[in-house]
Amino acid sequence: MNVRPTPLLLALLLAASLPAQASVQKPTALRALQVTPASVPARPASVPGQVQPVAPGTLAAPRIPQLTLDPNMPEVQKVEYLSNGHIEVAGAVVTLEQPEQSCARAVAGAVARRVLAARAQLDEVDVSVYDKGTYGGFGGPSPLLTASVPRDRLNDFLAWTAGQGTYERAWVSTTPATPPLRAPDRVRELTVNFLGSVADKAADAVHHTTAKVLGGVQGGLLYHGSSRESLAALTFDDAPHPMYEPLVLDTLRRAGVHATFFVIGRNARAYPYFIRDMAEQGHEIGNHTFHHVRLPPLTPADVKQELTLTDQTLQGITGKPVRYFRPPGGDYTPATLRAAEGLGLTTVFWTDDPGDFQNPGVNVLLERYTRTLRRGGVVLLHDNAPEMLQVLPMFLRIADARNITLDTVGVLVKPGAQNDHRPAPTRARPAPALGPVDVTYTTQP
């Protein structure tokens, strides 16, 4: 299609073609020239899927600081940023009209440059470009282009957006923006829910009692590991999410902890570089369906498709087979278990769920976590729960203080597997002593 660039796009293209060193100015100059005071506008409640997924009854999430670009870029819907206490990452959402989409790379480059220039404390910006006509938040139609741009990779990214070289932390959709195959269900994992006939429930009770009493993998199910080992599994559901993933991975790296990420296939497809980061850093990657849908209402063929699509997506990124599966919402039937077993997947439940997605407050989260953490346990967190991110370092310290080693599901099932050909976690510095948690977000630029 022959598209006549608008003046705005011409300006963006020009900005993206400027020498990259222009973007790495002194912080004081940046603050004087390009930063307006940060504002924290209310989240637009009318946009479905803005946070994916949002369970009924969830309290309002903590307000996340937003950056305001000056001058404004009308394509930028929002720029949020968060810190894990060590690094700071922004997430920029961009929407483009169809005639502008042929310039999506140039726009993404201009946005990355502007965001990093606008806030000197940022270590990375994650850019997600969507079709403006169909944009429905993170859980809506997939983005057209995504990129993870650490500050020290900005020049590489800008070169790629200008058509030069390669950049491995970007993804470009090869299909038109279309509504998702299935809308994600508004459920999160809190309780394990078996659904079936009376006879099914009787059979399931025996099955599950065996798995719960004996521990380990029993008949394709895992509830917990052995209480004789000072190990517990750390698991994150619904990954990956831009902005959150670099922060979670950095926190785990600093603590020297490996975890299992139960991944939504469509998110993995649009942000494959975060899956690669997980694998390269020695974490384990599990299947959490392709669209984050409750499986009991689906036909056996559709259940198989949800699991197969996700396995194929993850194996295509990491080159490794997927071994573990967790059903969204904890909802399952005998058919769900058969489908998972048929694909060689062990279904993993949990023992410890502090309910981070409900935004109960960090003190409540800490109390729940402290009360339930045990040897052989399986801890369930969500990678995009802001309060989880805030208390994760304290979670890790509590486990350390109790001499419980947090690791992947694979290690919980097979103690000693932590030595099996994976990168050793590097503890960046000694764990600080237990202390009060800072519960205040920084909202100043």
List residues near Zn ion by CB under 5 A: 237-238, 328
Please, what is the angle between helix 104-118 and helix 154-161, to 10°?
160
- Round to whole Å and give the CA distance between 420 and 398: 26
Instruction: Please say whether the beta carbons of 194 and 208 come within 8 A.
Output: yes
Instruction: Look up 291 and say whether it is catalytic.
Output: no
Q: What's the closest the beta carbon of residue 185 comes to Zn ion, in angstroms?
A: 9
Q: Is 106 exposed, middle or buried (0-12, 13-18, 19+ CB in 10 A)?
A: buried
Cβ(284)–Cβ(260) below 8 Å: yes
**Residue 93 C-beta: closest distance to Zn ion, Å:** 22
Amino acid at 408: T
Instruction: Please say which residue, 110 or 381, places its beta carbon nearer to Zn ion.
Output: 381
Measured between alpha carbons, how far is 222 from 214 in angstroms, rounded to an integer? Answer: 10
User: In the bound complex, what is the minimum distance in angstroms from residue 288's beta carbon to Zn ion?
Assistant: 6
**382 a catalytic residue:** yes
Dihedral pair phi/psi, residue 130, rounded to 5°: -120, 160
Exposed, middle or buried: residue 420 (CB in 10 Å: 0-12, 13-18, 19+)? exposed
- Closer to Zn ion by CB, 194 or 325: give it: 325
Given a contact cutoff of 8 angstroms between Cβ atoms, the answer to whether 166 and 172 are in contact is: no
Select 96 or 187, whichever has its Cβ closest to Zn ion.
Answer: 187
- The SS3 assignment for 389 reads helix
Q: 237, 238, 311, 356: which is the annotated catalytic residue? A: 237
Taking the complex as a whole, the smallest distance from the CB of residue 188 to Zn ion amounts, in Å, to 6
Pick from 422, 375, 368: nearest CA to 391: 368
Please, which residue, 61 or 162, has the CB nearer to Zn ion?
Answer: 61
**Tell me, what amino acid is at 41?**
P
Q: Which residue, 138 or 167, is less far from Zn ion as judged by CB?
A: 138
- Taking the C-alpha atoms of residue 412 and residue 231, their distance in angstroms, rounded to an integer, is 6
Residue 225 or 328: which CB sits closer to Zn ion? 328
Amino acid sitting at position 174 = T
- Residue among 185, 288, 382, 407 flagged as catalytic: 382
Q: Are 316 and 349 in contact (CB under 8 A)?
A: no
Query: DSSP for 8-73?
Result: HHHHHHHHHHS-GGGGS--HHHHHHHHB---B-PPP-TTSTTSSS---TTPPPPPPPPB--BSS--
Shortest Å distance, C-beta 126 to Zn ion? 21
CB of 4 to Zn ion, least distance (A): 44
Give me the active site residues, please. 237, 382
